[in-house]
Structure 1
């Protein structure tokens, strides 16, 4: 069974591999609902794993 923590780990790994994409890109790649993916990205940003210093509001990039 895949848990929320596993989803977050998979999402973080994908974002680190392919940064700067819109949340929808990651949702499609991981076969997750778009809103759920956005929530996970927001949580990762709050934890300090990601930053949103990009042009579009829903894009996230790896903190450098």
Structure 2
């Protein structure tokens, strides 16, 4: 069990898929909204399960 309080140690973001675009001469590209994590308050278990609140920055559109 790890307690997380305040700014994150490593940069990260939450990413949500919002569709695809058709680019000229190439296959469809996935599009995402990324929300950079500024701080978090909560507890994580087993290194993967997080329970708490996450404060994010502004959203930005990303293509992959």
The two structures share one fold, judged by TM-score above 0.5: no
Structure having the higher Rg: 2
Using the size of structure 1 for normalisation, the TM-score is 0.26
Q: TM-score, normalised by structure 2?
A: 0.26
Q: Greater share of helix residues, 1 or 2? A: 1
